[in-house]
Amino acid sequence: MSDLFSSFMSVFAELVEHIADAVEPLFHGSATAAAIVLFTACVRLLVHPLSRAAARGQKARAKLSPQIAELREKHAKNPDRMQKAILELHAKEKVSPLSGCLPSLLQLPAFFLLYHLFSSSSIGGEANALLGHTLFAAPLGDRWTDALGEGGVLGAQGLVYLALFAVVAAVATFNYRRTKQQMAATPQAGGNGDPQVPGMGAMMKVMPLMSFMTLITVAVVPLAAALYVVTSTTWSAVERAFLYRDVPAGAAALATGV
């Protein structure tokens, strides 16, 4: 199994190198970083049909709001029965309450591939040459702590991370405001309303803050993996704003991306 994985990583490393070679005339020393951004965009394009399907599912769930409100009123004194009834309604209407999670889950393998590729000193029994490639002054195999050790927060490498943190913070703020607005406009999902499915109430309270957790991820993973996270998170924000632009409920709050 380890030999198979090693061979697979070698093929993946060659793919990244080929993409970098193709864009090198435009991006020069940061060609590998640009290749990672392009790879991320390709992954998101492949997942996009599932994101559209998830959006349709969210809209279908929004249409069930009146029936869900009736079930809440009917089973107000029996939370277990209420949750069971709501799940049965979703099953009857062929609507999955967690369909929005699927696109995010399918992106995890791509993230872990990049994480492993830029965390390994050797690939296929040979030294991993990709670790020496950079985004401006910052090596793609280094982490934020390495950048701090090389020149501090305002050093050449530290400034690269500050730029990434600024992008993540801007996207997180956009997601936070949009999610709070949607939840506030939705009686069953916002405020202190009862959850539609077990554990959903707690999830909905935490959801607006999840985007800010990306700052921690960017700080602790190799820069190459951080680029994937930043690109994918930005893509998700734009994609959700488009796909859920006409969703009157807070259903879009469950549509997450890496």
pLDDT at residue 40 in the model = 96
* Alpha-carbon gap, residue 107 to 2, rounded angstroms: 22
Whether residue 140 is contained in a domain is answered as yes
pLDDT at residue 58 in the model = 74
pLDDT at residue 2 in the model = 73
128: left (phi over 0), alpha (psi -120 to 50) or beta: beta
Q: What stretches in the chain show pLDDT beneath 50?
A: 187-198, 249-257
* Alpha-carbon gap, residue 217 to 231, rounded angstroms: 13
Whether residue 206 is contained in a domain is answered as yes
pLDDT at residue 247 in the model = 59
Whether residue 75 is contained in a domain is answered as no
Whether residue 226 is contained in a domain is answered as yes
pLDDT at residue 225 in the model = 96
pLDDT at residue 130 in the model = 93
Give the three-class secondary structure for 65: helix
pLDDT at residue 118 in the model = 95
* Alpha-carbon gap, residue 89 to 99, rounded angstroms: 15
Whether residue 11 is contained in a domain is answered as yes
Give the three-class secondary structure for 123: strand
pTM of the full structure: 0.80
Whether residue 36 is contained in a domain is answered as yes
Those residues whose C-beta lies under 8 Å from the C-beta of residue 231, and which sit 6 or more positions away, are 36, 37, 40, 41, 44
> Domains in the chain: how many in total?
1
Structural domain that includes position 108:
2-62+98-254
Whether residue 129 is contained in a domain is answered as yes
User: Burial, 49: exposed, middle or buried (Cβ in 10 Å; 0-12, 13-18, 19+)?
Assistant: exposed
The pair phi, psi for residue 135, each rounded to 5°, is -110, 105
pLDDT at residue 218 in the model = 95
pLDDT at residue 3 in the model = 76
- Residues 78-121: tens digit of each pLDDT: 788 888 877 777 777 666 666 667 777 888 899 999 999 999 99
pLDDT at residue 196 in the model = 45
How far CA 80 is from CA of 44, 72, 86, 161, 252, in Å, comes to 38, 11, 10, 47, 25
- Residues 160-186: tens digit of each pLDDT: 999 999 999 999 999 888 877 766 655
* Alpha-carbon gap, residue 34 to 20, rounded angstroms: 7
* Alpha-carbon gap, residue 164 to 182, rounded angstroms: 27
- Whether the CB-CB separation of 257 and 232 falls below 8 Å is answered with yes
pLDDT at residue 185 in the model = 56
